[in-house]
């Protein structure tokens, strides 16, 4: 089985694994699998930025990004600090 998946303007060709459909900050995305959180952050052009990630309501520690894989249907939140007071 071969799948062409378009993500961020690039076509990914891969075999064996179907792409996963996830939601990131409320927007649906289809990404090639297997996909770690580190790869997701790269895909979102957020590498090196100070952020925090939640999957299905649970914190995903940054220290685990390299070896934690996303699963189909995951709801992901990526947050940062912004100006705000009260």
Partner 1 sequence: MNAPERIEGSDTLVVAGRSYRSRLLVGTGKYRDFDETRRAIEASGAEIVTVAIRRTNIGQNAGEPNLLDVLPPSRFTILPNTAGCYTAQDAVRTLRLARELLDGHSLVKLEVLGDADTLFPNMPETLSAAKTLVAEGFQVMAYCSDDPILARQLEEIGCVAVMPLASLIGSGMGILNPWNLQIIIDRLEVPVLVDAGIGTASDAAIAMELGCDGVLMNTAIAKANDPVRMANAMKLAVEAGRESYLAGRMPRKPYQASASSPTEGLIKSATSRRG
Long-range contacts, 44-50 (Cβ 8 Å, 24+): 44/78, 46/78, 49/80, 50/80, 50/81
- C-beta closer to partner 1: residue 18 or 79: 79
Q: How far is the CB of 1 from partner 1 (least distance, A)?
A: 30
Pattern 22-61, binding to partner 1, x per CB under 8 A? Answer: --xxxx----------------xxx--xxxxxx--x-x-x
Count the Cβ atoms, other than its own, within 10 Å of residue 20: 19
Provide φ and ψ at 63, rounded to 5°. -65, -15
Residues that bind partner 1 (CB under 8 A): 24-27, 44-46, 49-54, 57, 59, 61-62, 77-86
């Amino acid at each position: 089985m071969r799948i062409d998946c378009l993500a961020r303007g690039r076509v990914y060709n891969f075999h064996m694994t179907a792409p996963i459909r996830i939601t990131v900050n409320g927007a649906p995305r289809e990404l090639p699998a297997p996909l770690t959180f580190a790869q997701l952050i790269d895909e979102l052009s957020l590498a090196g930025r100070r952020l925090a990630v939640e999957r299905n309501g649970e914190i995903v520690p940054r220290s685990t990004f390299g070896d934690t894989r996303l699963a189909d249907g995951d709801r992901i939140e990526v947050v940062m600090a912004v100006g705000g007071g009260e």
